[in-house]
Amino acid sequence: MENMIWNKNKECMSREELRDLQGKRLHKLVDLVYHNTPFYRAKMQEMDLLPDDIRTIDDIVKLPFTTKADLRDNYPVGLLATPMSEIVRIHASSGTTGNPTIVGYTYRDLEIWKEVIARALTAYGVTRGDIVSVGYGYGLFTGGLGAHYGVEHLGATVLPTSTGNTEKHIRLLRDLGVKGIACTPSYALYLAEALHKQGLSADDLKLRIGAFGAEPWTENMRREIEERLGIQAYNIYGLSEIMGPGVAYECGCKNGSHIAEDHFYPEIIHPETGEVLPLGQEGELVLTTLTKTGMPLLRYRTKDLTTLMLGTCECGRTSVRFTRILGRSDDMLIIRGINVFPSQVENVILEMPEFAPRYMLVVDRKNNMDMLEVQVELRPDNFSDDLGGMLALKKRLAERLKSVLSISAEVKLVEPNSLPRSEGKSTRVIDKRVLA
């Protein structure tokens, strides 16, 4: 397939040109927040910083970090850099504790957003004339409306299916010959299952391209989705605080996600010390919104753990890429002192053909000892009354988990279709230690 690029001027700039642009944008941004966001002015004054101290992109390290707690403390709209009358849209992230996080967008912010989504869709191979179903939730969540306007901006046709009513969704996919789908990877699997239940297969649809994100997913999960839906599955990354989906996207090379670096400046820091790490080291992704005017953020700590890679990609894009997100630093479980990510468990499970890509980690503390239980669904063909066979399978999985995680886990094989399904972001961990 010929590599298509939506905005060659921006996506393929030389590094010098890009860094120069980033520096100019950062200077403007700092000036904006210093004069319009009391929170940032106070922080900069504390650090004895004036906007003119920030001249090039390298000066970014002088600036303060922003955290989710800062957004909550300034609830609802304390971090806006513009009068409320300039805000044309508000999104909010649910947040399980405390204040939700509110994000306000100016008209210009929305234009940037749809531009970056159009870049992503083009990188996946979507063009005018294609129909794309948006199966992310519409509403306060940024997935639905964010992707929606990007599809329209590209000139393709958007089918705003949102979540819910999978039967109707499948019917429309089939009857309209829909080519692209944007949803969570868990919903893509759910859709594949529902298709199967209706006696249909990927061959009954014309789906070719999937844009999946909003939650971590592994290479093994990619393979599973691609096979079951007969598509090419691509990553899309983003977060509401920074914009929503479209902050980064994979290209046809599937070798890391390109950050739309002319709008979002990335750094990697040590998640505990906050020290900026050299390129190539794994750590927490920090993002600065270089062009937003509604609620711009300086050095926002995403908590997402990844590694940045430089170098022109085979597709021709020069922007920095990040490797697959391993998980969030706050999703990381510490079990008997060992760090465990749900994605490690997912990888092990999907390497074994007997298991469906459905699992749940249950962590508890018994007699002062952390216990990890991994519940996993068998594929229908592997579900049997052969007790000996089931025990042997259980043992094999337990051994494999132990070698990967370095701790032992109790394995519980469960019947096909018995773990909860999700249409949005899936829950894969129940930590009873925090619930207690």
**Residue ranges binding ligand DLL (CB under 6 A):** 93, 136, 142-143, 213-216, 235-240, 244-245, 302, 304, 325, 328
- The burial of 213, by beta-carbon neighbours within 10 Å (0-12 exposed, 13-18 middle, 19 or more buried), is given as buried
Got the DSSP string for 258-324? EE-TTTEEEEEE-TTT-PBPPTT--EEEEEEESS-SSS--SSEEEEEEE-EE-S--TTS--S-EEPP
Nearest by Cα to 372 from 434, 431, 419: 431
Q: Between residues 236 and 335, which has the closer beta carbon with respect to ligand DLL?
A: 236
Q: Between residues 130 and 346, which has the closer beta carbon with respect to ligand DLL?
A: 346
Got the DSSP string for 347-377? HHHHHSTTEEEEEEEEEEEETTEEEEEEEEE
Could you give the C-alpha distances from 266 to 61, 92, 297, 299, in angstroms and in order?
11, 23, 12, 8
Nearest by Cα to 262 from 13, 69, 3: 13
Q: How far is the CB of 66 from ligand DLL (least distance, A)?
A: 14
Nearest by Cα to 123 from 206, 188, 186, 211: 211
Q: Between residues 78 and 100, which has the closer beta carbon with respect to ligand DLL?
A: 100
Q: How far is the CB of 93 from ligand DLL (least distance, A)?
A: 4
Q: How far is the CB of 62 from ligand DLL (least distance, A)?
A: 25
Q: How many CB atoms lie within 10 A of CB 264?
A: 25
CB 386 within 8 A of CB 402: no
Q: How far is the CB of 167 from ligand DLL (least distance, A)?
A: 23
Query: What is the radius of gyration, based on Cα positions, of the chain?
Result: 22
Q: Which residue is nearest to ligand DLL (CB)?
A: 213
**Residues 6+ away with beta carbon under 8 Å from 337:** none
Q: Between residues 24 and 328, which has the closer beta carbon with respect to ligand DLL?
A: 328
Q: Which residue has the tokens 């010098």?
A: 16
Q: Between residues 326 and 371, which has the closer beta carbon with respect to ligand DLL?
A: 326
Q: How far is the CB of 41 from ligand DLL (least distance, A)?
A: 26
Q: Between residues 304 and 370, which has the closer beta carbon with respect to ligand DLL?
A: 304
Cα–Cα dist 155/44, whole Å: 43
Nearest by Cα to 229 from 327, 118, 135: 135
Q: How far is the CB of 60 from ligand DLL (least distance, A)?
A: 20
Q: Between residues 186 and 393, which has the closer beta carbon with respect to ligand DLL?
A: 186
Q: How far is the CB of 240 from ligand DLL (least distance, A)?
A: 4
Q: Between residues 325 and 374, which has the closer beta carbon with respect to ligand DLL?
A: 325
Q: How far is the CB of 384 from ligand DLL (least distance, A)?
A: 35
Q: Between residues 346 and 370, which has the closer beta carbon with respect to ligand DLL?
A: 346
Q: How far is the CB of 325 from ligand DLL (least distance, A)?
A: 4
Got the DSSP string for 71-121? HHHTTTTTT-SS-GGGEEEEEEE--SSSSPEEEEEEHHHHHHHHHHHHHHH
